[in-house]
Amino acid sequence: MNERRQKSYSIRVDAAELARSRQHPTHQANGDEERYAGARYFMSFTKGLIHNPTTGLLQDPKDFVAFRRAIDDGFIDPFTDRVRHGAKYKVVNGNIVEEENPNFLDGFRQWEAPTAGVVFELEGPDAQAVTMPPAPPLLDSSGNTNLELIFEMAEVYELAILRDCPFNDFEKGAKNENLKASIARLNKLGYLQNQNGRPRKVNQKRNRPRQKGKLDVQTVFRGSSPGVEVGPYLSQFLLIGNKAVNGEDGVTTGKIAYGVLEINQKVPIATPGTDYMTDFAKYVEVQRGIAQARESYVPGRRFISTPRDLATYVHYDALYEAYLNACLILLGMGTPFDPGFDHLSGGGVAATDPKTRRHANGFALYGGPHILTLVTEVATRALKAVRFQKFNNHIRLRPEALAARVELVRRKNSGEIEENLIPKALSQYFQGFLDKLESNGNGDLATSTLGNISAIAEGSYLLPMAFPEGSPMHPAYGAGHATVAGACVTILKAFFDTSAVLVKDSSNEYRFKRMEEGDKLVAFRANDDGSALVESPIDNISEALTLEGELNKLAANISIGRNMGGVHYFTDYYDSVRMGEEIAIGILEEQALTYPTDPFVFSVPTFDGDIVRIGRR
C-alpha cells in the first residue's frame, strides 16, 4: 500500500482567492465573555425539549445540559433515559408537569441521528476529520448585531414571501414586482456593501465571488459557484429526462430512463398560499417536538415551477435522489467522461472514433456502474460528517426559532407580553433585527421585510413555514441536503466532462457534449402552469448551459430549496457543499490508491472555481 500511495496524487491548481472571504468573525468578545455566552445561548438548537408556552423559550436550562451530555455520550439510550422530551411534559403556571394529551404522547418526534457523527469509516475521511468554519454569530467581533446573520435571516423571510412566485421570473427581463421588491429590500441591507463572510454574487468573467455589489433577478437566491447565475434558475437536471431504451423521448417530457422503468420529474402540488406555524401556540407545540399532520395538496402533478414546489421536492426526496437522476440522464445521453480517462471508460470521445476505440472498456471500472455506485455511496459519509457538525460542534438553532426570538421582541415592544417575562439580553440582542428589517422598505413598515411577513403571518414576525412540522429534529448547521449535494455533485464532476454543453445536435438529439458544427444550444423551462417543458434556443455562447454550471446549480437548487421551506440559512448551504466536496475528494483519492494498472486522471472543478486533479501515474 505504501508503494501505491506514492503513485497516487492529488493536486489543486488555480488556488482559490476565497481564502480571505471565508475568514469569518468568531465569538471572541473583546473580554466581554458573559455577554457573548448569553448570545450563544439564544442561538442554540433546543427543539424537542420543554418550552415555555408564553415565550417559546427553553423552560429549564438543565434540559439543554442533559441534551448536550447525551450527545457527548454518543449512545442512543441516554436521549430517552436522561433527557426530558418536550412532548411528554408541559409548563403550567411556571411548573413542569407531565403531559396527559394522548395525541401528544403518541405522536412525538424523535431527534434524528444524534450519534451518527461519532462513527468511523473504512473509506474516505472519518466524520470527525472534516470541518466547517463557525456559522455567523449573533454578535460580530465589535459586539454589534451581525450584519451577515441579519442578511441571511432576511433571505429566509423573503423566500417565504416569494414561495408561490414563478421560477421563470427569477431571470433577467422578468417583471415580477414582488420579486423586484424583495431584491430591493435585500440590497438595502448593509451586508452586500461589505461582504466579510459568504459571498452572494458571482463575477462571471473570472468565476470568482464579488465582495461588493447588488443582487438582481439573475443572481438572487442562486448560490455562489461558477455557472449558477447562467440561464434558468432551475438546473436542467430537475426538469429534463433522457431517451428510453425503446426510443421514446423523455428529455422534453421529463421522463428519466431507469433501466426499462422511468422516473417522472413532475411533483405533487402543495396548496399554494398555505403556510404553517404562524400562530404562536402552534409554534410552541412544534418546538416541543409534537408531530403534525402533513401539508395539504391540490390534485395533480407539475414540473417544479415555484419555490413551494422545490421545497416539496426536498421535503420528501431520497437525499441523493437528484444526483442519481442526473447521473442516469447523463449516462442515457452518452455524455463523455473526463478526457483524463475516457479511453478507459469506453464512453468518451475516444470511443466515437474507430481509430481510437479500445477493444475493452471500463464497465465495472470507470464506467456506468462505477459512478452510479459512488454517487450514492458518498451520501452516507456526508450525512455522518454533517451530523458531527450539527450535534457535536455547532448545535445551531433553526430559522423558525430565530424568527420567534424576533417576534418576542416585537410583542414586548407592542405591550402584548410583559417585559419581565423576556430575558433582557434577548431584547438587547434581537432589537437589531427588528430595526434593520422594519426599516428596509420604502420608508414605512408595511413595505419592509417584516411588514410583508406580518401580512402573511397573522400579524406576527414568525417565519411562515412550508412544512407543518417546521424543521427536522436536528440542528441547522451544517445542512444534510447541502453536504450530500456537495459530495454527490463532486463525484459527477469527477467522472463526466464538465466542459460539455447542452445542445440539440444535428440528429435532433438532446445531449451534453462538446460543441460541434450543427449543434444548437438550448435550455428548458417549465411553462406557466408547470404542465410541460418549453425548449428555448440560446444564441450567445456565453449563455451556454455547461455541465459544470448545471451541476453546481443542481447542488444550489436542492440546498437553497430547503431555505425556501424555511428550515435552513444560506450559510448552511455555502459551507456544507464545500465540506461534502472535501469528503468526495477524499474518497476519490483513496480510490486512486487501489487502481494499480492503467494511469488516469480525474479533473474535479470545485465549488470555488479551482481544479483538483486526482490520479495515478
Is residue 51 annotated as a catalytic residue, yes or no? no
Whether 9 is covered by a domain: the verdict is no
In the chain, pLDDT over 90 holds for what percent of residues? Answer: 80
Whether 366 is covered by a domain: the verdict is yes
Q: Is pLDDT above 70 for 328?
A: yes
CA nearest to 191, candidates 229, 140, 134: 140
Please give the residue range of the domain that contains residue 324: 236-381+480-581
* Rounded Cα gap, residues 421 and 91, in angstroms: 14
Burial of 442 (0-12, 13-18, 19+ CB in 10 A): exposed
pLDDT confidence of residue 355: 87
pLDDT in tens, 248-288: 999 999 999 999 999 999 999 999 999 999 999 999 999 99
CATH number assigned to the domain comprising residue 273: 1.10.606.10
Mean pLDDT in residue range 311-315: 98
Q: If you write DSSP's letter for every residue of 345-395 in order, what string do you get?
A: HSSSGGGGSTTT--SS--TTTTSHHHHHHHHHHHHHHHHHHHHIIIIIII-
* Spacing of C-alpha 299 from chain mean position: 28
**Quick check: bond before 48 cis, omega within 30?**
no
- Classify each residue of 397-427 as buried b or exposed e, where b means 16 or more C-beta atoms within 10 Å of its C-beta: bbbbbbbbbbbbbbbbeeeebeeeebeeebb
pLDDT confidence of residue 36: 52
Q: How many domains does the chain have?
A: 1
Residue linked to cell 450584519? 147
Q: Which three cell numbers stand for residue 592?
A: 486512486
pLDDT in tens, 34-75: 555 567 779 999 999 999 999 999 999 999 999 999 999 999
Mean pLDDT in residue range 10-17: 45
CA nearest to 157, candidates 566, 570, 573, 572: 566
Whether 103 is covered by a domain: the verdict is no
pLDDT confidence of residue 11: 57
Mean pLDDT in residue range 19-47: 57
- In contact, 302 and 529? CB cutoff 8 Å: yes
Burial of 172 (0-12, 13-18, 19+ CB in 10 A): exposed
The 3-state DSSP class for residue 25 equals coil
Sorting pLDDT into bands at 50, 70 and 90, what band is 173?
confident
Whether 593 is covered by a domain: the verdict is no
The 3-state DSSP class for residue 512 equals strand
* Rounded Cα gap, residues 230 and 239, in angstroms: 16
Which residues contact residue 532 at a Cβ distance below 8 angstroms, ignoring those fewer than 6 apart?
Answer: 303, 526
With residue 537 as reference, give the H or E element that holds it.
strand 533-537
Helices and strands (H, E) in the chain, number of each type: 18, 15
pLDDT in tens, 352-405: 888 888 899 888 999 999 999 999 999 999 999 999 999 999 999 999 999 999
pLDDT in tens, 74-118: 999 999 999 999 999 999 999 999 999 998 998 899 999 999 999
Is residue 24 annotated as a catalytic residue, yes or no? no
pLDDT confidence of residue 34: 52
* Rounded Cα gap, residues 167 and 309, in angstroms: 10
pLDDT confidence of residue 478: 93
Q: For 8-22, 137-151, 528-542, which range has the lowest pLDDT when averaged over its residues?
A: 8-22
Which residues contact residue 512 at a Cβ distance below 8 angstroms, ignoring those fewer than 6 apart?
Answer: 330, 333, 335, 496, 500, 501, 502, 503, 547
> Max Cα separation, the chain?
84
Whether 278 is covered by a domain: the verdict is yes
Distances from the Cα of 326 to the Cαs of 238, 239, 329, 466, in angstroms?
8, 10, 5, 26
Indicate which residue of 315, 394, 474, 568 is catalytic.
474
Sorting pLDDT into bands at 50, 70 and 90, what band is 211?
very low
Phi and psi for 536 in degrees, rounded to 5?
-125, 130
Indicate which residue of 343, 394, 481, 568 is catalytic.
481
